[in-house]
């Protein structure tokens, strides 16, 4: 006899486990199916353990610059094995936390490979044994994996994906990073701070190309100042991998080719959705040409009772977007009529050094959309707290509709901006105009004052520059 539930969630990442919790809170009998680790890639091999690595690199950086703060530190060194061990410990702690949440919310966990076998039917296979589950509603949250470089698959030895880069067999001496999105830049920043000679190759004309052009330019200058080599509008060819390293030809934006050798290479050129072999084609589930599932504003697929969230659907491919979709889906199933999510109000954060964070339209995208804009920028060098922290590198930029005062976008680079962007995200969600932001009292001394000053600057009213 098949076990019957109100909701089955396939995948336990930040989308899946949150969907299961919310469904259980709403009184639905809920099960979750996971083939590897509760918490998915984010908690075990993505968002969280990478931040633990970056924290170690940040502290190591400050130790090396102790003299800047009137301090002295001698015989400074880094133990990459110990750094990785700490990161894995953080991941384990959070995995155990998700396990606790499943028990607390009385969610049944089925470990194994899940596959749709019919409408409202799902099989789970583990160690050669299969059990059948049924539910009126099934939520797909199977996530995605790193895209391999054509012709040069990751081997975990010399060619790495993000997963290999989190548990390196040794510290790279000379590292090539292909791709400058969030994942590529974060690992480039980590290994650069840890002492590796890092080269980043980006085929687009600027790094972190989804960000505002001013942020990209500022970050590139900052990373070069830290000793990183950045090649934009560039390509990599003739890659040869051996037991001793990686040889490749690097082509710059002028078309000039240079032969180079590296100890290791990280490939960060995007993701592939985990949609194979889970019964989607047999059910006729609609997908786009890249294999991502098509859904409506409530995360419904074209198959009745089948929902999809997170990295198997449309971008942005972010953990917090997946979690919010999980809540929307569970509430829609329970008949709560939730609000649809506006992609323009989803913040993005990259935890390099300096950090970058943004929400909404860039200045260029706003103009492309036909807006007449007012733009404000405020540099951290005009902020007392940033100077006191020794973190005066950065700025805040805001973009407004000149006609209505609507906040269209906000873009930040500098210390702790990933913690501050939520202020603008709330403002956008509440459809705030420049008037409310100008009348908001920001605490002093904080770096967040740069947010207020940026708004004032858009209207010619900045006080400290």
Instruction: Using CA atoms of 32, 35, 38, 39 in order, give the dihedral in degrees to the nearest 10.
Output: -100
Nearest to 249 by CA among 235, 269, 264: 235
So what's the pLDDT on residue 197? Answer: 98
So what's the pLDDT on residue 61? Answer: 95
pLDDT tens per residue, range 158-196: 999 999 999 998 999 999 999 999 999 999 999 999 999
Dihedral sign for Cα atoms in the order 236, 242, 246, 251: negative
pLDDT tens per residue, range 310-339: 999 999 999 999 999 999 999 999 999 999
Q: What is the average pLDDT across 276-281? A: 95
Assess whether pLDDT exceeds 90 at residue 6: yes
SS3 category, 444: coil
SS3 category, 218: helix
Reported as a pLDDT band with limits 50, 70 and 90, residue 382 is: very high
pLDDT tens per residue, range 199-249: 999 999 999 999 999 999 999 999 999 999 999 999 999 999 999 999 999
d(CA 381, CA 219): 16
SS3 category, 241: strand
Dihedral sign for Cα atoms in the order 429, 430, 436, 439: negative
Assess whether pLDDT exceeds 90 at residue 1: no
Dihedral sign for Cα atoms in the order 307, 311, 315, 317: positive
Give the rounded percent of residues in the chain with a pLDDT score beyond 70.
Answer: 100
Nearest to 112 by CA among 163, 5, 38, 22: 38
Q: Are 31 and 53 in contact (CB under 8 A)?
A: no
Q: Which residue has the tokens 């924290």?
A: 55
Question: What pTM does this model have?
Answer: 0.95
Q: Which residue has the tokens 């260029």?
A: 364
pLDDT tens per residue, range 89-143: 999 999 999 999 999 999 999 999 999 999 999 999 999 999 999 999 999 999 9
- What rounded mean pLDDT belongs to the chain? 96
So what's the pLDDT on residue 43? Answer: 87
Reported as a pLDDT band with limits 50, 70 and 90, residue 379 is: very high
Assess whether pLDDT exceeds 90 at residue 42: no
Asked if 444 is an active-site residue, the reply is yes
**Cα atoms in the 13 Å half-sphere on the side-chain side of 339:** 6
Which of 339, 444, 452, 464 is flagged as catalytic?
444
Q: What is the average pLDDT across 9-37? A: 97
Backbone φ, ψ for residue 312 (5° rounding): -90, 0
Q: What is the average pLDDT across 12-18? A: 97
């Amino acid at each position: 006899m098949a076990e019957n539930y109100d909701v089955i969630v396939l995948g336990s990442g930040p989308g899946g486990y949150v969907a299961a919790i919310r469904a259980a809170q709403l009184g639905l009998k809920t099960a979750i199916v996971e083939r590897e680790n509760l918490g998915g890639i984010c908690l075990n091999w993505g968002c969280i353990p990478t931040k633990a690595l970056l924290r170690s690199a940040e502290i190591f950086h400050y130790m090396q610059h102790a003299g800047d703060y009137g301090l002295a530190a001698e015989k400074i060194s880094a133990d990459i094995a110990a750094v990785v061990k700490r990161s894995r410990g953080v991941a384990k702690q959070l995995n155990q936390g998700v396990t606790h949440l499943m028990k607390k919310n009385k969610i049944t966990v089925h470990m194994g490979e899940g596959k749709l076998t019919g409408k409202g039917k799902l099989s789970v296979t583990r160690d050669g044994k299969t059990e059948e589950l049924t539910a009126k509603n099934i939520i797909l949250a199977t996530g995605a994996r790193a895209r391999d470089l054509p012709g040069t698959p990751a081997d975990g030895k010399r060619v790495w994906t993000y997963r290999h880069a989190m548990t390196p067999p040794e510290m790279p001496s000379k590292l090539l990073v292909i791709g400058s999105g969030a994942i590529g830049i974060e690992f480039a920043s980590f290994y650069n701070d840890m002492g590796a000679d890092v080269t980043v190759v980006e085929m687009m004309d600027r790094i972190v190309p989804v960000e505002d052009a001013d942020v990209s330019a500022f970050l590139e200058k900052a990373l070069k100042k830290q000793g990183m080599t950045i090649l934009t509008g560039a390509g990599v060819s003739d890659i040869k991998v051996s037991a001793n390293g990686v040889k490749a030809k690097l082509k710059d934006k002028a078309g000039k080719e240079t032969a180079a050798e590296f100890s290791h290479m990280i490939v960060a050129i995007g993701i592939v959705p985990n949609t194979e072999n889970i019964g989607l084609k047999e059910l006729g589930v609609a997908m786009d040409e890249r294999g991502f599932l098509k859904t409506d504003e409530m995360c419904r697929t074209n198959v009745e009772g089948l929902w999809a969230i997170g990295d198997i659907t449309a971008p942005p491919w972010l953990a917090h977007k997946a979690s919010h979709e999980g809540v929307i889906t569970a509430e829609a199933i329970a008949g709560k009529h939730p609000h649809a999510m506006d992609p323009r109000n989803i913040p993005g954060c990259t935890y390099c050094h300096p950090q970058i964070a943004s929400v909404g339209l860039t200045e260029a995208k706003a103009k492309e959309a036909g807006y007449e804009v007012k733009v404000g920028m405020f540099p951290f060098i005009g902020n007392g707290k940033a100077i006191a922290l020794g973190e005066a590198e950065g700025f805040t930029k805001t973009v407004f509709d000149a006609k209505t005062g609507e906040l269209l976008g906000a873009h930040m680079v500098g210390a702790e901006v990933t913690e501050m962007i939520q202020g603008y995200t709330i403002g956008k969600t509440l459809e705030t105009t420049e008037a409310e932001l100008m009348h908001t009292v920001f605490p002093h001394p904080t770096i967040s004052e740069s947010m207020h000053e940026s708004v004032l600057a858009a209207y010619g009213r900045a006080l400290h520059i």
